[in-house]
Structure 1
Amino acid sequence: MRTYREVFRTPEFTPLFLISATQVAASTASGLALGTLVYAATGSPLLSALSMFGPSLAQVAGALALLSAADRLRPRAALSGLAVLFALGTAALALPGLPVAAVFALVFGLGAAAALGGAVRYGLLTEILPKDGYLLGRSVINMSGGTMQIGGYAAGGLLVTALSARGTLLVAAALYLLAAAAARFGLSGRPARAGGRPSVTETWRVNARLWSSAPRRHVYYALWVPNGLIVGCESLFVPYAPRHAGLLFAAGSLGMLMGDLLTGRLLPPHRRERLAAPLRLLLAVPYLVFALHPPLPLALAAVALASIGFSATLPLQQRLMALTPDAMSGQALGLHSSGMLTMQGVSAALAGALAQPTSPAVAMATMAAVSVAITLALAPGLRGDPAAPRQVVSSAGRFEEAAPEERAP
């Protein structure tokens, strides 16, 4: 599978694509509206950043408790039910007079549920597409996410002006309901991928097996930490440039779109792997210019250029899949997504806390410098070709890796 046309001809990919795109548009518009609402109410860069990226921080709870459900629930029912939950939660955030504490309780609750949603969605993608089509399909979904973020931030800024922040939240809730309808009527009634009942114990067991491999740990670190630190930079766009935050977010989304097109579609596999390390550096280096308080055009160019580097996650995901048995691929992708979003939430909190005594510009440049240092430190563990572990079936009927692996300390 080498073309986008082949991907879209695959049954059920188009509905899954629409579900993902609609939810990204809803979360983008609602995040901008909520960040604006909280900043207007509190004047705090930290609380504004947490309101926009706090759901990512809550993903750790979902990753630790809910991920085993991703393979044990019917995908159509799970995706449609979760979309309805997000619609109700987003509508509740629009209630006038809602205390800030209640806002954050809702935000973190929805974030925990989002961990399960990502695992179900990407696990279903591995069923819908053949193995050689996964990277191409994931790049399409990433590009749609970038496009929806561009449109979502632009439309969100207009809606906040025209309807108010609360009105924008209600529009986002309606988009979640559209995603629920697309899941219910566009996907087939596939059975769950695994038997048994979801449990915290089973989630921990598989997470421990995934974490037991040193090569996988290096990939997870590279997927989570440098990426998250740069999202921490993005979380400060509102206090850095309150009137132009939407433009900065849109520039970042445009860069992500360009990067996914370049890495997922245009680069041949051997060059994609060769450019993975430079792309990880590109993600952070342009943000160093914010230490100089650049004018808006230069700031927009730096954000767009840096965001091309987010496409480094595509070859890293391919490496992760090569290192992971098929039986654990759904939870492996869920752990990647939840860990990445959790680190983004942590980084948003760190960036906001750093900006309080200094300034948003200083905090952004500092986070970028740390991202560069961590990328360089992780580089030795990401060299060489990954070798996929073999699978065997244990006497208990569980899939296990044939060879013992190094355990995490």
Structure 2
Amino acid sequence: MPQNTRAASRGYRAVLRVPEFRAVLAAHLLSLLGIVVAEVALTVLVYQLTRSPLLSALTFALGFLPHLLGGTLGASVADRFPARRVLVGCDLLCAACAAVMVLPGSPVALLLALRCVMAAVAPVFHGTRTAALADILGGGGAYVLGRSLLRIVSQSTLIAGFGVGGAVLAAVSPRRALCLTAGAFLVSALLLRLGTRARPARAAAAGAARAGSLAGARLLLGDRRVRALMLMFWVPPLFVVAPEALAAPYADARGFGPEALGLLLGGMAAGHVGAELWAGSRLGPRARSRIVLPCAVAGLVPLVGYAARPGLAACLVLLVLAGAGGAYLVGLDAWFVAAVPEELRGRAMTLVASGTMTVQGVGMALAGLAAEFADAHLVVAGAGVLGIVCTALLAREVRRSGAGGGRGAAGAAASPAAPTEGRDGADHDMTNR
């Protein structure tokens, strides 16, 4: 086995030996479970109170839409204040929102408004935590594998989380289930407060947070390299969500039955988890760098297979393969952290998080709109074709933006041919920094 592959296979274990990262990972799992339980419980609660399918569905949509507002206007918070304070504050705010939802007699409008607050806070929390990982693990291979583990936990929680939420609601009422959400956020805040070190803010807090957020966004998006890498985070998910968005109508059209819907919704997440584990544990830094652009495009190819109206088994294979394309994120993380200067890192990660959630919501809405005029299987196949073309064009821009090796407005560019991950031996020395 090559030396870099042996080092990569030890990487996850080395990252998990860092006490601060273990605290972050445990808090991440708890907050994710809290969010999933809240989504399921709120959807049921709103429907019980209104008997309106539209408002019930809107509860899910509100998990996506406020990310754009929170990520755009609040991004500078991730750099202007100490990371631990921001993370704990976000968790406490979400716990407070969940606690108010529990109160008997809370009107539906208040429930939906509180859901918006929790969703708007999410990109600030995510961006702050992602930037803090570079302080906890360093900016090389350990950081990349730490990010990978957080994504693996996220995808695994999606596979099991809705089942857990359903089981909870089978035992208790929706409002009691929301007590678990509040508790999960409180424990997450406690883990982050006691399990991570206090570090100073990355940038001076000058001027209004909104102005700082918008100025940072303009600076980041004005840099050709950073802009291209951000789009690489955003463009593939815009199209790859189509089969999940249309899983219910496709299953109904093919007569699969309700039990098959859960399999269709979990197939892509399962593929993503398996591929990311493989890329993180079996590949070295150079190999992870080489697969970024091919995997980003290849992950959209299975969607074209929907044109043949596949059966359940074939659908699951296509979805797993599409999810496996998510392995491109492991190498993309290394390029991105190298391209963004430290003082803008929190804002950059917050923008990436909010943009990813927003484009997924937009992609789902567009897929649903297209399905009003065409069969679901044709919409998914069309999304695959369009996604392949757009991602291939973007891949060319990513290569060009890194070819010059110059330094743009937002920081140094990292060339795809020579990523910075591993330059300092980080894959071989994953100590807590």
Query: Structures share a fold, TM > 0.5?
Result: yes
Specify the alignment match of 1:348 in structure 2.
364
Specify the alignment match of 1:230 in structure 2.
240
Partners of 1:28 and 1:282 lie apart in 2 by: 30
- Most deviating of 95-104 and 69-78: 95-104
1:209 aligns with 2:225: no
Q: Alpha-carbon deviation of 1:190?
A: 2.6
Q: Residues 232 and 115 (structure 1 numbering): CA distance in 2 closer, same or farther, change over 3 Å? A: farther
Q: Residues 356 and 94 (structure 1 numbering): CA distance in 2 closer, same or farther, change over 3 Å? A: farther
Q: Alpha-carbon deviation of 1:390?
A: 5.5
Q: 2:318 pairs with 295, 298, 302, which one?
A: 302
- Most deviating of 121-130 and 100-109: 100-109
Contact 1:256 1:308 (C-alpha < 8 Å) held by counterparts: yes
Partners of 1:363 and 1:81 lie apart in 2 by: 42
Q: 1:127 pairs with 135, 147, 157, which one?
A: 135
Partners of 1:238 and 1:165 lie apart in 2 by: 24
Letter in 1 for 2:217: N
Q: What stretches of structure 1 of length at least 5 have no aligned partner?
A: 392-398, 404-409
> How does 1:152-191 map onto structure 2 within 5 Å?
152-163=161-172, 168-191=177-200
Partners of 1:285 and 1:26 lie apart in 2 by: 34
Q: How many residues align?
A: 394
Contact 1:57 1:343 (C-alpha < 8 Å) held by counterparts: no
Q: Alpha-carbon deviation of 1:261?
A: 1.0
SS of corresponding position for 1:67: coil
1:85 aligns with 2:93: yes
Q: Residues 181 and 110 (structure 1 numbering): CA distance in 2 closer, same or farther, change over 3 Å? A: same
Cα deviation 1:164-202 (Å, max 9, x = unaligned): 655544433332222122122222233323222551111
Specify the alignment match of 1:394 in structure 2.
none
Partners of 2:41 and 2:302 lie apart in 1 by: 27
Q: Residues 343 and 402 (structure 1 numbering): CA distance in 2 closer, same or farther, change over 3 Å? A: closer
Q: Alpha-carbon deviation of 1:51?
A: 3.2
Letter in 2 for 1:235: A
Partners of 2:265 and 2:320 lie apart in 1 by: 9
Partners of 1:214 and 1:161 lie apart in 2 by: 51
Partners of 1:349 and 1:33 lie apart in 2 by: 23
Percent identity, aligned pairs only? 31
Specify the alignment match of 1:196 in structure 2.
205
1:318 aligns with 2:358: no
Cα deviation 1:48-94 (Å, max 9, x = unaligned): 66533433221111122111111122222221221122233345556
SS of corresponding position for 2:205: coil
Specify the alignment match of 1:279 in structure 2.
295
Q: 2:157 pairs with 145, 148, 152, which one?
A: 148
SS of corresponding position for 1:191: coil
Letter in 1 for 2:320: A
Q: 1:372 pairs with 384, 388, 409, which one?
A: 388
Q: Residues 313 and 390 (structure 1 numbering): CA distance in 2 closer, same or farther, change over 3 Å? A: same
Q: Residues 303 and 188 (structure 1 numbering): CA distance in 2 closer, same or farther, change over 3 Å? A: same
Partners of 2:148 and 2:404 lie apart in 1 by: 23
Letter in 2 for 1:324: V
Partners of 1:387 and 1:177 lie apart in 2 by: 47
Q: Alpha-carbon deviation of 1:293?
A: 4.2
Letter in 1 for 2:214: W
Q: Alpha-carbon deviation of 1:341?
A: 1.3
Q: What stretches of structure 2 of length at least 5 have no aligned partner?
A: 1-6, 252-257, 414-433
TM-score under structure 2 length normalisation = 0.80
* RMSD of aligned residue pairs (Cα, Å): 3.1
TM-score under structure 1 length normalisation = 0.84
Q: Alpha-carbon deviation of 1:389?
A: 5.8
Partners of 2:241 and 2:47 lie apart in 1 by: 18
Specify the alignment match of 1:406 in structure 2.
none
Q: 2:24 pairs with 12, 16, 23, which one?
A: 16
Q: 2:350 pairs with 331, 334, 338, which one?
A: 334
> How does 1:106-121 map onto structure 2 within 5 Å?
106-121=114-129
Letter in 2 for 1:175: A
Specify the alignment match of 2:231 in structure 1.
221
Q: Residues 369 and 400 (structure 1 numbering): CA distance in 2 closer, same or farther, change over 3 Å? A: closer
